[in-house]
């Protein structure tokens, strides 16, 4: 989920790891975090100021799936509970559980307005669980030990994370004597994928799931027809044809300048880079990341993209025909006027990027490249061979690109969900680049898709604001209507006698 304060590091970073940049595919967007400022809510929200948030640590199993001596080790997994508005166990009041993604817990606590706004209305217990290997939920005692090599990182998988959530949620129900309180799990992005998978894997624990902006189908066996960068191209082109053409032209211009004997020095001065460029790829990667983030977290239609394009379209003084000056104007408009621009801004090493890089190099293998239809960028399709080589070089492992579809059974998602899925909401904004891999059509009466034409990445879970467009208000209402109906039905089944035939 995106943060209102942005320091947890960039949403978009060079592919998978702080140390590793594939020259055949520059980057792909992290699923959760943004470095750009997210507007604070303008509505007064009671839950945002009236809460009783408590932090806890659960003694979690390192390995849920084997019985080797190593598997019996435990680590402290962090979670938080807000019981301010909970009606209590006697009322069988619901539990809303946010399943953490590739970030620390703080991002979920302050970024998920949907929880704080609906908790009081539902009289719900709010639970936030941090994902293993992120934030303070580090196995082996510290991030340094947990992230140091493949042997320690090997316990970082989606299946282990789901089992963690199951253990903590059962613990919470026992702790609060909430045996009959229905649990609704909610997740954003990768967390949305986890929420949907949790409902499928642990239906006896979760009554339902809201999976926001979950790119469930972005895997080798389920590649979408159009890719991530198709949407970025589409949004820029629809915002301004002139801006789109300028960006499209700029890549070749960067290559042309870089080919000169002092070309990298020229580019460094042109873009005011904090350190001299050693290759043209770095400035391209930097620009790519800005454009991708601007689209993915474009909170109001046109906000950040329009800001960039307005600057690009405005001819800079004295250099009316300089394409790169216009591109720099877009950077300044987006990041502010700085003495210099750090092209490593999106790739600086962090614990988050190391852990997420591991997940991308093992099972969350998303084949994101620059295809022919992504016309704002230079064509560079995803190259699995190069990708595998990079993963071996940096993590000492080979990806298993078919494992997620095998384990969770999403090769034919509609057929599979129709057979045994229920009570899942897939919400997507079609202006989100990851929506190309979302579930966009209803599967059944209870596995539903809620999509908005102008919506962006997990926008529905953010704080509501007075200026929210009507379509966003209605999207959230549809989600809460489904959740209300699940809870209501659950309450009726508790008082209805079950007849067992002779």
Q: How far apart are the first and last CA of the chain?
A: 51
Token code pair at residue 302: 């046109």
Own/partner pairs, 148-157, CB within 8 angstroms, 24+ separation: 149/396, 150/395, 150/396, 150/397, 153/355, 153/358, 153/395, 155/62, 155/63, 156/132, 156/355, 156/358, 156/359, 156/362, 157/359, 157/362, 157/363
Mapped to the 3 state alphabet, what secondary structure does 371-430 carry? CCCCCCCCCECCCHHHHHHHHHHHHCCCCCCCHHHHHHCCCCHHHHHHHHCCCEEEEEEC
Q: Is the Cβ–Cβ distance between 280 and 255 less than 8 Å? A: yes
The rounded radius of gyration (Å) of the Cα atoms in the chain is 23
Residues acting as catalytic residues: 189, 432, 457
Q: Which residues are registered as beta bridge partners of 427?
A: 212, 450
247: three-class secondary structure by DSSP: helix
Distances (CA, A) of 425 to 40, 191, 199, 243: 26, 13, 11, 36
* 3-class DSSP assignment, residue 10: coil
Output DSSP code: residue 500: P
Full DSSP string of 101-141: -SS-HHHHHHH-HHHHHHHHHHTPEEEEEPPTTSTT--GGG
- Report the C-alpha gap between 264 and 328 in whole angstroms: 16
Give the whole-angstrom CA distance, residue 277 versus residue 406. 43
As a whole number of angstroms, the distance between CA 158 and CA 404 comes to 9
């Amino acid at each position: 989920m995106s943060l209102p304060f942005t320091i947890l590091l960039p949403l978009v970073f060079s592919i998978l790891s702080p140390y590793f940049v594939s020259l055949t595919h520059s980057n792909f967007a992290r699923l959760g975090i943004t470095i750009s400022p997210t507007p604070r809510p303008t509505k007064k929200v009671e839950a945002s100021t009236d809460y009783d948030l408590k932090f806890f640590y659960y003694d979690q199993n390192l390995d849920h799936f084997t019985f080797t001596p190593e598997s019996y080790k435990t680590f402290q997994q962090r979670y938080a509970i807000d019981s301010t508005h909970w009606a209590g166990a006697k009322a069988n009041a619901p539990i809303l559980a946010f399943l953490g993604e590739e970030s620390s817990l703080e991002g979920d606590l302050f970024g998920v307005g949907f929880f704080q706004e609906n908790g009081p209305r539902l009289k719900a217990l709010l639970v936030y669980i941090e994902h293993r290997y992120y934030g303070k939920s580090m196995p082996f005692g510290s991030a340094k030990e947990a992230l140091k090599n493949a042997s320690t990182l090997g316990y970082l998988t989606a299946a282990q994370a789901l089992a963690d959530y199951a253990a903590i949620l059962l613990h919470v129900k026992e702790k609060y004597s909430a045996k009959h309180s229905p649990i609704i799990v909610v997740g954003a992005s990768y967390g949305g994928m986890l929420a949907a998978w949790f409902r499928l894997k642990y239906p006896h624990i979760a009554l339902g799931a809201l999976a926001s902006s979950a790119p469930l189908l972005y895997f080798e066996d389920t590649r979408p027809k159009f890719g991530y960068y198709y949407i970025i191209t589409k949004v820029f082109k629809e915002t301004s044809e002139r801006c789109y053409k300028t960006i499209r032209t700029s890549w070749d211009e960067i290559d042309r300048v870089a080919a000169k004997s002092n070309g990298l020095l020229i580019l460094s001065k042109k873009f005011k880079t904090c350190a001299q460029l050693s290759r043209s790829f770095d400035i391209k990667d930097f620009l790519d990341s800005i454009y991708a983030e601007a689209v993915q977290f474009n909170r109001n239609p046109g906000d950040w993209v329009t800001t960039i394009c307005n600057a690009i379209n405005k001819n800079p003084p004295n250099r009316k025909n300089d394409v790169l000056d216009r591109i720099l104007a877009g950077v300044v408009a987006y990041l502010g006027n700085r003495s210099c621009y750090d092209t490593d801004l999106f790739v600086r090493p962090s614990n988050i990027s190391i852990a997420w890089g591991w997940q991308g190099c093992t099972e969350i293998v998303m084949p994101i490249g620059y295809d022919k239809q992504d016309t704002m960028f230079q064509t560079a399709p995803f190259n699995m061979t190069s990708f595998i080589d990079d993963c071996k070089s940096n993590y000492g492992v080979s990806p298993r690109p078919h494992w997620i579809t095998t384990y969770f059974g999403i090769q034919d998602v509609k057929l599979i969900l129709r057979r045994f899925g229920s009570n899942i909401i897939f919400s997507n904004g079609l202006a989100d680049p990851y929506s190309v891999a979302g579930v966009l059509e209803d599967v059944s009466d209870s596995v539903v898709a809620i999509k908005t034409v102008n919506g962006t990445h997990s926008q529905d879970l953010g704080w509501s604001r007075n200026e929210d467009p009507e379509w966003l208000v209605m999207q959230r209402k549809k989600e809460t209507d489904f959740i209300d109906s699940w809870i209501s039905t659950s309450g009726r089944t508790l008082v209805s006698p079950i007849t067992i035939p002779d």
